């Protein structure tokens, strides 16, 4: 089949871009021809069709979102909807050209019919899919009702008919069972659950000549404890729980490093974390300037990939209060690290019951978690046994082979 991926962005290390890369890898193995269209392209999607207005950061999308959501969501919602539809008309022709010129049999819309970060794109895709009758997979990562910032709005009717669209040619895919149930209850839409996955058949990269100096580059001594928080700095990541854990461990040479940028949702959370870290006397550092999508040198400075950080970590913290699934959790399992995880809803529903062995938090740092962390940091053999068990469970349930089987079943149903 000739399959086209459409999204706001297909580049970088965000969860959607990473998951598209895995789907693309599996679909290519199955013999399909792939094409890409987004407002930002890079890596595996380089050379695709670039339509700048598709990006959620494009000025036209940002201005409409500012008027539709939050405290500024006032005034004439009907007039705003007219403007959204007018903006959708401007991107209809290039999107139609992408589909027709590549003679696509199927399009896979990645989150653009799910979360309303680009309102005109969702409206445009809904109309275009209905117009062309093209077979479509709507791959849904984050619904608008799952995000606080979209709760206050003046375009609810538009959201409820577009994000996602209920059309006969769309097969909906959710990434967890909670989202599947809520989509059915809220919109009467059936979906197939395909969880996020990882390539567990390929052994994880180890310490090599390039990354051997990573700890040194962080300023760590040999006996320092390297605690890794491999996420962005946004409030739902629950980084204050990691701070409290490190504080209560009361180890003299413990250092907490965050790998991804702090400005996705403003800097106020990061400033608050820094103040809290100062009060708790925790060494908290942001190292996004050292971590890129791949190894490189920028202005003479060495840049590492995220894969270079994991092998050096003594402990990985993942205290999120909400996740659509949890890519970083799978990555920590892949690198066989000791992991602290907060029991966020999807973890409770779809991951924890499979038998993984992590240090678990229940929305707060309890004494049992502190004691267990202390004990395991001093028992590398037990950590190794836990890590091997976790790897085997993840390979059984969240591997590329699992994804291949599910995609074969999905495509066969069309």
Confidence band for 75, pLDDT divided at 50, 70 and 90: low
Question: In what order do the strands lie in the sheet containing 359-361?
Answer: 283-286, 254-258, 225-229, 315-318, 339-342, 359-361
The larger pLDDT score, comparing residue 15 to residue 25, is at: 25
Task: Indicate if 188 and 278 belong to the same structural domain.
Answer: no
Task: Indicate if 172 and 221 belong to the same structural domain.
Answer: no
> What local confidence, expressed as pLDDT, does residue 213 receive?
96
**Each residue's pLDDT tens digit, 227-260:** 999 999 999 999 999 999 999 999 989 999 999 8
CATH of the domain at 348: 3.40.50.2000
Task: Indicate if 129 and 264 belong to the same structural domain.
Answer: no
Confidence band for 148, pLDDT divided at 50, 70 and 90: confident
> What local confidence, expressed as pLDDT, does residue 266 receive?
72
Task: Indicate if 384 and 304 belong to the same structural domain.
Answer: yes
**Each residue's pLDDT tens digit, 154-208:** 999 999 999 999 999 999 999 999 999 999 999 999 999 999 999 999 999 999 9
Rounded to 10 deg, the angle between the 380-397 and 367-377 helix axes is 110
Identify whether 312 is preceded by a cis peptide bond (ω within 30 of 0). Answer: no
**204, part of any domain:** no
The first and second tokens of residue 185, run together, are 């209850």
Neighbouring residues of 257: CB distance < 8 A, sequence distance ≥ 6: 218, 226, 227, 228, 229, 285, 286, 287, 309
Task: Indicate if 220 and 282 belong to the same structural domain.
Answer: yes
> What local confidence, expressed as pLDDT, does residue 71 receive?
74
**Each residue's pLDDT tens digit, 277-288:** 999 999 999 999
Q: Are strands 49-50 and 339-342 parallel, antiparallel or unpaired?
A: unpaired
Measured distance CA(70)–CA(287) in Å, rounded: 31
Residue 348 has pLDDT above 90, yes or no: yes
Q: Are strands 254-258 and 225-229 parallel, antiparallel or unpaired?
A: parallel
Total domain count for the chain?
2
> What local confidence, expressed as pLDDT, does residue 49 receive?
98
Residue 262 has pLDDT above 80, yes or no: no
Task: Indicate if 170 and 246 belong to the same structural domain.
Answer: no
Average pLDDT of the residues of the chain? 95
pTM of the predicted model over 0.85 = yes
**95, part of any domain:** yes
In terms of residue numbers, what domain contains 388? 214-397
Neighbouring residues of 136: CB distance < 8 A, sequence distance ≥ 6: 106, 107, 108, 109, 129, 167, 169, 170, 171
Residue 100's Cβ-side half-sphere holds a number of Cα atoms within 13 Å equal to: 11
**203, part of any domain:** no
Task: Indicate if 135 and 284 belong to the same structural domain.
Answer: no
Task: Indicate if 393 and 250 belong to the same structural domain.
Answer: yes
**320, part of any domain:** yes
Task: Indicate if 32 and 176 belong to the same structural domain.
Answer: yes
What's the sign of the alpha-carbon dihedral 206, 211, 213, 216? Answer: negative
> What local confidence, expressed as pLDDT, does residue 74 receive?
64
> What local confidence, expressed as pLDDT, does residue 149 receive?
86
Task: Indicate if 145 and 286 belong to the same structural domain.
Answer: no
Task: Indicate if 188 and 249 belong to the same structural domain.
Answer: no
Residue 397 has pLDDT above 90, yes or no: yes
**206, part of any domain:** no
3-state SS track over the chain: CEEEEECCCECCCCHHHHHHHHHHHHHHHCCCEEEEEECCECHHHCCCEECHHHCCCCHHHHHHHHHHEHHHCCCCHHHHHHHHHHHHHHHHHHHHHHHHHCCCCEEEEECCCCCCCCHHHHHHHHHHHHHHCCEEEEEECCCHHHCHHHCCECCHHHHHHHCCCCCCCEEEEECCHHHHHHHHHHHCCCCEECCCCECCCCCCCCCCCCCCCHHHHCCCCCCCEEEEECCCCCHHHCHHHHHHHHHHHCCCCEEEEECCCCCECECHHHHHHHHHHHHHCCEEEECCCCEECCCEEECCEEEEEHHHHHHHCCEEEECCCCCCCCHHHHHHHHCCCCEEEECCHHHHHHHHHHCCCCEEECCCCCHHHHHHHHHHHCCHHHHHHHHHHHHHHHHHHCEHHHHHHHHHHHHHCC
Confidence band for 261, pLDDT divided at 50, 70 and 90: confident
The mean pLDDT of 13-25, rounded to a whole number, is: 91
> What local confidence, expressed as pLDDT, does residue 173 receive?
98
Percent of the chain clearing pLDDT 70 (strictly above):
98
Task: Indicate if 405 and 342 belong to the same structural domain.
Answer: no
């Amino acid at each position: 089949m000739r399959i086209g991926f459409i999204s706001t962005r297909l580049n970088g290390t965000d969860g959607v871009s990473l998951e598209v890369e895995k789907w693309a890898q599996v679909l290519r193995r199955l013999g399909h021809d792939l094409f890409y269209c987004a407002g930002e392209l890079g890596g595996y999607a380089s050379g695709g069709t670039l339509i700048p207005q598709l990006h959620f950061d494009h000025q036209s999308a940002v201005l409409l979102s500012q008027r539709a959501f939050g405290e500024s969501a006032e005034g004439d919602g009907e007039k705003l909807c007219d403007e959204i539809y007018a903006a959708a008309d401007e991107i209809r022709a290039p999107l139609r050209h992408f589909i027709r010129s590549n003679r696509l049999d199927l399009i896979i819309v990645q989150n653009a019919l799910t979360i309303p970060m680009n309102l005109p794109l969702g409206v445009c895709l809904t109309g275009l899919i209905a117009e062309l009758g093209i077979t479509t997979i709507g791959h849904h990562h984050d619904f608008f009702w799952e995000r606080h910032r979209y709760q206050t709005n003046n375009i609810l009717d538009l959201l409820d008919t577009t994000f996602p669209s209920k059309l006969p040619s769309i097969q909906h895919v959710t990434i967890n069972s909670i989202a599947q149930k809520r989509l059915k209850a809220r919109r009467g839409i059936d979906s197939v659950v395909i969880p996020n996955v990882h390539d567990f058949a390929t052994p994880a990269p180890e310490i090599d000549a390039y990354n051997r100096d990573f700890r040194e580059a962080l300023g760590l001594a040999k006996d320092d404890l390297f605690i890794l928080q491999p996420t962005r700095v946004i409030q739902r990541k629950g980084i204050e729980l990691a701070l409290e854990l490190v504080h209560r461990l009361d180890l003299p040479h413990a250092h907490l490093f965050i790998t991804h940028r702090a400005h996705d949702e403003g800097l106020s959370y990061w400033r608050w974390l820094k103040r809290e870290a100062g009060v708790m006397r925790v060494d908290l550092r942001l190292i996004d300037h050292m971590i890129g999508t791949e190894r490189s040198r920028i202005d003479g400075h060495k840049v590492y990939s995220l894969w270079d950080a994991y092998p050096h970590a003594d402990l990985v913290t993942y205290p999120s209060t909400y996740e659509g699934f949890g890519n970083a959790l799978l990555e920590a399992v892949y690198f066989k690290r000791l992991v602290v995880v907060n029991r966020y809803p999807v973890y409770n529903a779809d991951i924890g019951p499979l038998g993984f062995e992590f240090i678990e938090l229940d929305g707060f740092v309890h004494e049992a978690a502190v004691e267990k962390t202390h004990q395991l940091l001093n028992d590398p053999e037990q950590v190794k046994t836990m890590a091997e068990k976790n790897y085997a469970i993840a390979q059984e349930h969240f591997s590329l082979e699992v994804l291949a089987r599910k995609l074969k079943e999905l495509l066969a149903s069309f």
